Amino acid sequence: MAIEGTSFCFITSHLASGEKKGDEGRRNRQVSEIFRRTTFPRSRRDVDSRPLTILGHDRIFWFGDLNYRLYGEKHMARRLIKGED
């Protein structure tokens, strides 16, 4: 979608769940596959006829159940939040 010359891409996905060794790698591979396989045809009015990729957009919004975990002690998370980090 484009609004006043700015292109927007909206993605929704449900990545692999799990906390076992290797599960994060599966999620990362799924994200890589989404980037690799997703293309969008340009309109006929565009001079460039190559397909547009996700990363070719000006603004990207990625929604869904990404299943990434934050690992660490509760006190560490609270300290980072308090420090706005």
**Sequence ranges of the domains in the chain:** 2-82
Helix/strand/coil (H/E/C) assignment for every residue in 29-83: HHHHHHHHHCEECCCCCCCCCCCEEHHHCCEEEEEEECCCCCCCCHHHHHHHHHC
| Contact call for residues 39 and 52 (beta carbons, < 8 A) | yes
Residue 10 is encoded by which pair of tokens?
């909206």
> What share of the chain has pLDDT > 90, as a percent?
45
Residue 80 has pLDDT above 90, yes or no: no
Taking 70 as the threshold, does the pLDDT of residue 50 lie above it?
A: no
Confidence of residue 55 (pLDDT cuts 50, 70, 90): very high
